[in-house]
Structure 1
């Protein structure tokens, strides 16, 4: 079983790479389930599980539920166990599970958004303060000069703030726009912003990329100090993020292979399982059935008619 400090290390590593994940915690158990009260695990967006929340019956269901919750950005309380004649409180998601242990679990799954990756390009006092403020609110902020910056420094989840303020603005905007970050801002006046974007357009950067550049940025405070300008820019970025404006932050569905696998219902225990080769496929009269464990598959193979009659009824 993974230790709490190891789990914290996993979380820090995922956050440093900007990967979304969910934390699954066992909040209730019915013996003899192998899951333990307080047991925790981290589930990544691509379906990896670190930690322990239960055995082979519980893990696949929790992983798939966690992936969906990461995509939706929602938390949920899952009930895993027999669902016959079961009355659950509103808001609890029931996942049928009737493996050999006959235990049950309630697991709270909470997605954790990765820290915003903010790249501030510039060397002015305002750029330094903006980087410090973003770090203070838990963002992963980097400061680099215009000549240092390339498109390779960002990815589709990054937020880029061009604060070169007249020192190579055009080149930085060109590189940043080509990387298609989640958000791209240019610190400039209306007039200066239009001039920069016009010049970059003449250099052959497609207009649809330039249309994604926000300028000017920050709340208009009138005449103010560089520190206050940095505060106004961060305030606007926080507002944009809260409204879902960092569209590249969330992993795309194509990055979640387990979600693309069709579901199947185990005809023995009625648990929903992925219809893949890892879930004990068994062909009977031209139809392939999938099972949560070898025990269910073998029971079905011994007398398919017994379970198919129950399923059809």
Structure 2
């Protein structure tokens, strides 16, 4: 697969919210068949698309990629024909694997786990809803509008925020609660929020899961400030971020 084709394929996987590992050869010692810059994608089922070396190197790279994908990690893989570092302490971010299939050469491959961004589904097209899409994009979240309130919510939604000011609120809130979405919020005043929540066809425990009014109390007034307060509350309560220190959508267990 060409570099252009591989980049397009990676784009498709990102759009489809499929986790994968991007493997890039950064150093190759002859007589290995790979060269610096060669790349491959490793999918959760172990499929390898692209080229980073022969069968033995690919097999080692696949196993390490699946391990990193499972743990949401990235790092450098060094494949050597022998002498994997002796008694020297392991370097942070470096995994050394001895592979006797290699005919005298060695490879260093950077393995980057690419996980889907936390998905935030937003109902509405009012100023706060539009601000949620702008602020969420700046924070590297995957913010998507809820186009059909009566339809199914995204299966892996990490948050559902209702900012429609009276339109289809109960249906979407109920669906989000029954689906077990981790963070559910309603943009409304305290008085109106109480009335909306009181009319939901859910039990009291589920009703208390709705954050209304939505967002941390930071004195927000403008739509952008309200959106920021909502994402701050989402981050605080769920520990979900794009910085690598919180919970991310996990890759499926590899066979």
TM-score between the two structures when normalised by the length of structure 2: 0.82
Q: Could you say which residue in structure 2 is the equivalent of 1:226?
A: 223
CA contact (8 A) 2:149 2:168 kept: no
1:16 positional shift = 0.8
SS at match of 2:199: helix
In structure 1, runs of 5+ residues without a counterpart are: 258-313
Q: Distance in 2 between matches of 1:252 and 1:184?
A: 25
Q: Could you say which residue in structure 2 is the equivalent of 1:163?
A: 163
Relative to structure 1, is the Cα distance of residues 96 and 209 closer, same or farther in structure 2, using a 3 angstrom cutoff?
farther
Q: Distance in 2 between matches of 1:35 and 1:90?
A: 24
Q: Could you say which residue in structure 1 is the equivalent of 2:178?
A: 178
Q: Could you say which residue in structure 1 is the equivalent of 2:111?
A: 109
SS at match of 1:152: coil
Relative to structure 1, is the Cα distance of residues 231 and 100 closer, same or farther in structure 2, using a 3 angstrom cutoff?
closer
RMSD, matched Cα: 2.8
SS at match of 1:32: coil
Relative to structure 1, is the Cα distance of residues 94 and 212 closer, same or farther in structure 2, using a 3 angstrom cutoff?
farther
CA contact (8 A) 2:119 2:156 kept: no
Relative to structure 1, is the Cα distance of residues 197 and 213 closer, same or farther in structure 2, using a 3 angstrom cutoff?
same
Q: Distance in 2 between matches of 1:215 and 1:75?
A: 38
Q: Comparing both structures, which one devotes a greater share of its residues to helix?
A: 1
Q: Distance in 1 between matches of 2:84 and 2:218?
A: 61
Q: Could you say which residue in structure 1 is the equivalent of 2:78?
A: 79
Relative to structure 1, is the Cα distance of residues 193 and 26 closer, same or farther in structure 2, using a 3 angstrom cutoff?
same
Q: Distance in 1 between matches of 2:213 and 2:250?
A: 25
Question: How many pairs does the alignment contain?
Answer: 247
CA contact (8 A) 1:151 1:179 kept: no
- 1:111-135 Cα deviation digits (max 9, x unpaired): 1222333221013121122223323
Q: Distance in 2 between matches of 1:230 and 1:110?
A: 31
Higher relative contact order (CA 8 A, sep 6+): 2
- Matching of residues 132-143 of structure 1 within 5 Å: 132-143=134-145
Q: Could you say which residue in structure 1 is the equivalent of 2:4?
A: 5
- Matching of residues 128-277 of structure 1 within 5 Å: 128-144=130-146, 148-150=148-150, 152-190=152-190, 192-200=192-200, 203=201, 205=202, 210=207, 212-222=209-219, 224-237=221-234, 240-242=239-241, 244=246, 249-253=249-253, 256-257=254-255
Q: Which has the larger radius of gyration?
A: 1
Q: Distance in 2 between matches of 1:77 and 1:235?
A: 33
Matched, 1:28 2:24: no
In structure 2, runs of 5+ residues without a counterpart are: none
